[in-house]
Amino acid sequence: MTSETTEAPPQNHQTPRQRATLTINRVTAEDIRASLKAGFADFLARPVMSGFFGLFYALFGILFIWALVWLGKIWMVIPAAVGFPLVAPFAAAGLYEMSRRMQRGERFGWSDILTVMANQRNRELGWMAFTTLFIFWVWVYQIRLWLAIILQDASFSDVDGFLSIVFFTPEGWTFLAIGTVVGAGLSAVLFSVTVIAMPMLLDRELDFVTAMLTSIRVVVENKGVMLTWAAIIAVTIVLSLVPAFLGLIFTLPILGHTTWHLYQRAVAPVEA
C-alpha cells in the first residue's frame, strides 16, 4: 500500500510551477541598447501620458525642496535633491504598465493605467514601496547624523550659506566624501533589489521577497552590464535635476519604459 503525502500550500501568490520558471538570462550591452531603443519608442508612442508621470514626479520634487526651504530645513535640501531619485522606480509603475500593454498590442486610456496603479496598493508592490521609502529615510537620517558629527558648529541660515560651508571648507569636503560613499552603498542596495523587482511585481503574481531576490540574482549574474545600466540611470537623473527637476519630464518616462524592456530580457517568461 502506497502512502500519499500532502504538500503544504504555497505561502504566496506564486505557484510552484511559476517559481521553477524564474530563469535568469544573460544580459549584454546589446540588451541595454535594444531596451533603450524600445523605451524611447514607447515614449514617442504615448508622449503625453508618459510625460505626465515625469511631470508629476518633477513637480513633487520641486514642492518637496520648496517645503524644506520654507520650513527652514536648509541642511536637507542637498540630501533630499540627491536622494529623491531613489523613489523613482516606484514612481515609474504606470510606465511599466504602459509598456506592458503596448508590447501586447493592447489599447488603453488614462483610466486603465491609473486603475492598475491604484490597485497596486492591494498587491505586493505596496511592500516594495515601503522598502524604497525606508531606504530613502535611512539616507536622510544618515546625512543628518554626519552633519551633526562633522559640521556640528556650522549655522545653516540659508541655502547659499549651506552650500558655502559644504563646498568650500575642509569639514564640508569630509562631509561630502563620507556622504557620497554611504549614499553610493545605499543606492547600490536599492538598485539591486528594485531594478527587476518593480516591473516583475506589476507583471506577475509573486511575493515581493521573491521579486527582490530575483532582482539581486540578475544584478549578481550580470554585474558589468547592470553596473553600466545603473551608471546610465544615475548620470541621466543627476543631469535631469539641474534644470529645476524639469528634465525628469522626459528622462523618467524613457528610463521607466526602458527598465520594463530590460526586465523582459533579463527574466525568462513564465512557460504556459
At 153-173, the pLDDT tens digits run 666 666 677 778 888 888 888
8 within a domain of the structure (yes/no): no
Range of the domain at 110: 29-266
23 within a domain of the structure (yes/no): no
16 within a domain of the structure (yes/no): no
133 within a domain of the structure (yes/no): yes
- What end-to-end distance do the CA atoms of the chain give, in Å? 35
pLDDT band at 259 (very low <50, low <70, confident <90, very high): very high
User: Higher-confidence residue: 68 or 104?
Assistant: 104
Counting the structural domains of the chain, the total is 1
Looking at residues 76-96, what average pLDDT do you find? 72
CA dihedral 231, 255, 249, 82 (to 10 degrees): -30
Tell me the one-letter amino acid at 11.
Answer: Q
4 within a domain of the structure (yes/no): no
52 within a domain of the structure (yes/no): yes
pLDDT band at 242 (very low <50, low <70, confident <90, very high): confident
Average pLDDT of the chain to the nearest whole number: 81
17 within a domain of the structure (yes/no): no
Count of helices and strands (H, E) across the chain? 14, 0
pTM for this predicted structure: 0.80
| pLDDT at residue 8, as a whole number | 39
d(CA 122, CA 110): 20
Work out the angle between the directed axes of helices 223-241 and 208-221 (0-180°, nearest 10): 110
157 within a domain of the structure (yes/no): yes
